[in-house]
Structure 1
């Protein structure tokens, strides 16, 4: 029985040790545990994969998406796109729900820091298509927030964030605590 468990564990180990850097043109960010990674995957809704709670079109951009890597059937979590801010990758990947695509980016896989199959997708290519940059998050945000024009970073104008600050204050402890804090410190 112990031998069978050891064989099963060893069979699973190569998926972690695989090198997906061959052919990758990803730009390194200098993040701890990052490696260039180019692979083929199917875009899926993780709630659907894990629990059977499936939504049309992977939730239409309202849910996180995952990449089911073709080489080893591993679930890879694309948490960032190619933009310099740490914007999510859902806007770039959700349109390809259920489709096989190639992705190129950075894979962070370091059990010591608790990161396993965390992916920063920089570009993608649908089957039979051309490579495209994964950088649509800001345009997607602007389309969803037409009344938030202005200068400065998006998060200073985001209605959801402004509403949260109005309700909970900048410190998250309420506007009265904010007032006392700012009076004492500034």
Structure 2
């Protein structure tokens, strides 16, 4: 059984923090692979700063192509929008009925809001969640402390954000060190985030 961690995000753009977390999860937990699930642009929430789906997928592909245990995924691109994580999990289990076990990867900051997710109790009953630390304020919901399906992984704390990268790139700052080299080349050639 291949254990796959699902790392959801817009990855607009994917940066070295994402890679460090994903690689740490696959090397220092029970996971065999981490799939970067690129979240599609919602037709109901058009953001000018959000690149088209295929561009963000291409950046994830470029960033992960040299890592055998890290994979890009566009599984959500063909699902009805707006989509919920629970629907993606059901779809993945239908698409890969044998040989795969799926888990979620999220930061501590996202765990705080898990109780607001659609069908979060069903997710907790059926899936393991791997949580990486974030610098954040406020307590985690008490129901998630010491939960048997929630595993905290002592991953490096990465306080790099795609928002910061986009903003400072637009301001003419050198953000190249924060990006995988192939992603920087793609952004530069396509003249994104200017």
Normalising by the residue count of structure 1, what TM-score does the alignment of the two structures yield? 0.23
**Bigger CA radius of gyration:** 1
Which has a greater percent of strand? 1
Scaled by the length of structure 2, the TM-score of the pair is: 0.22
